[in-house]
Amino acid sequence: MHQDQDAHRGRLIASVAATVISLACGTNYVYSAWAPQFAEKLRLSTTESNLIGLFGNLGMYTMGVPIGMFVDDRGSRPAVLAGAFLLAIGYVPLCISFEKAAGSVPVLCFFSYLTGLGGCMAFAGAVKTSALNWPSHRGTATAFPLAGFGLSAFFFSFVGAILFPGSTSSFLLLLAWGTFGLTSIGYFFLKVYPQVSYQEVPTQSSEPSSSGRARSRSVTEPDVRGVKLLFCLDFWQLFSIMAILAGTGLMTINNIGNDANALWKHYDPSVDETFLVSHQQIHVSILSVFNFVGRLLSGIGSDYLVKTLRASRIWCLAVACLIFLLAQICALQIEMPHKLVFVSGLSGLAYGFLFGVFPSIVAETFGIGGLSQNWGFMTLAPVASGNVFNLLYGRIYDHHSVVEPDGTRSCDDGIACYRSAYAVTSTACALGLFITIYIIHYQRTQYLKAKDKLDEED
């Protein structure tokens, strides 16, 4: 009994540590808070600025598979420690480049990539530890580190606004040492405590069959990983939804600052730089807070769907699609800068719903054993879609921008600066909703077929 209590306490501490680590891993989402000033000082176009932000996203997603394999094989802690150092190594040179107002785009992209890679490594370890420590409540257990990841942008924006108001250079230093410190502290408390009462594979059901004999069938948790995923229809269905929705969310996350600038400069040309910076940070914070709320709601809510309503977790993805679609419609219509909160809030909520439930769906569909590497495969989806949507936004915004004699760029056309980009993502979200409803119908059909087959055998 005493050992069980100690193990339970250890799991709770490990969950807190995983959440703290995750809080340091989502700083790519705060890019919009410093990107416009960074681009202005280094004389970068919107497309070049988006490219730097995109490489941060690429760092988070492209190495997910090998990192996942490493975590599944070697455990979480080495990945977390390596992630802490990569976060610092990535942000410090970006700060130096801003202070010197110099730096080539390829080099800046490289260091931005390292920040994403560091976040990916530490986050993979945090989520895997939470899933292993609470196997009977995976949705809830993973919801907290996932929510911490979503709250990261708000946390750093808030701390930066309090300690270093209006100082982009100090804010970049905060990102460097803050992410390193939080991840390093969490590293010491991140441990897995096996539960002897939980059996991952096969457990015998005690329910008798119609013939009076026990149900000799065993309920075995699936274990699909690696190359096997590529031959699995479930994987491609989920992959397509992730690509569409994550790419849509990343476009707004990386560019909400540009949205705010365009609307405010058109609405009131007299606004100064300090005013614009503060409103960029406000929208980043709104995105982050609603991202946090969405992750908690979908993670915990998906457990309620499965355990109480006996429904599929995929319904959370349908909700995410609907909220994303509503956000795109708002972005196409809102011309008053005061109302842009609907775009940032709804986008953050939808993005949170998407990522709050997706790891649980992956674990449930393909098994907990290969969760990290399978999640790595799934996070390859936003690489292509995020690339397309972000560069599309940049091209459209640059097309409407004016280059000043000193090399700075600005767009004063209001919603026209970016409206066409949201027209594309609106269509994508509608397609994502269709695919999600199809998956729910497909799974229901497969379940009924399997049930009829079992009844016939009985």
The pLDDT, as a whole number, for residue 87 is 96
pLDDT higher than 70, residue 207: no
pLDDT, mean of residues 73-94: 93
Does 416 or 457 have the greater pLDDT score? Answer: 416
**Which of 52-61, 88-97, 255-264, 384-393 shows the highest mean pLDDT?**
88-97
Q: Report the alpha-carbon angle 229-235-240, nearest 5.
A: 135
pLDDT higher than 70, residue 200: no
pLDDT higher than 70, residue 56: yes
Q: Is 373 exposed, middle or buried (0-12, 13-18, 19+ CB in 10 A)?
A: buried
Cα gap 272→118, rounded to integer Å: 35
Q: Is 446 exposed, middle or buried (0-12, 13-18, 19+ CB in 10 A)?
A: exposed
**Which of 124-138, 192-206, 276-290 shows the highest mean pLDDT?**
276-290
Confidence band (pLDDT; 50, 70, 90) for 186?
A: very high
Q: Which CATH superfamily is domain 2-193+222-457 in?
A: MFS general substrate transporter like domains (1.20.1250.20)
Element (H, E) at 36: helix 31-41
The pLDDT, as a whole number, for residue 218 is 43
**Which of 54-68, 102-116, 215-229, 355-369 shows the highest mean pLDDT?**
102-116
Mean pLDDT is lowest, of 7-21, 86-100, 403-417, for 403-417
* Average pLDDT of the chain, as a whole number: 85
Concatenate the DSSP letters of all residues of 340-407 into one string: GHHHHHHHHHHHHHHHHHHHHHHHHHH-STTHHHHHHHHTTHHHHHHHHHHHHHHHHHHHT-EE-TTS
Question: Could you give the percent of the chain with pLDDT greater than 90?
Answer: 38
Q: Is 81 helix (H, G, I), strand (E, B) or coil?
A: helix
Confidence band (pLDDT; 50, 70, 90) for 2?
A: low
Element (H, E) at 204: strand 203-204
Predicted TM-score of the model (pTM): 0.75
Write out pLDDT tens, residues 396-448. Answer: 998 888 877 777 778 888 999 999 999 999 999 999 999 999 988 887 887 77
Does 109 or 275 have the greater pLDDT score? Answer: 109
Confidence band (pLDDT; 50, 70, 90) for 6?
A: confident
pLDDT higher than 60, residue 213: no
pLDDT higher than 80, residue 205: no
pLDDT higher than 50, residue 201: no
CA-wise closest residue to 403 among 12, 8, 43? 43
Mean pLDDT is lowest, of 75-84, 246-255, 445-454, for 445-454
Q: Is 31 helix (H, G, I), strand (E, B) or coil?
A: helix
Query: For the chain, what is the radius of gyration of the CA atoms?
Result: 23
Cα gap 33→260, rounded to integer Å: 11
Confidence band (pLDDT; 50, 70, 90) for 220?
A: low
Q: Is 409 helix (H, G, I), strand (E, B) or coil?
A: strand
Domain boundaries, the chain: 2-193+222-457
Confidence band (pLDDT; 50, 70, 90) for 195?
A: low
pLDDT higher than 50, residue 162: yes
pLDDT, mean of residues 365-377: 84
| Strand 218-219 to 203-204 pairing | antiparallel
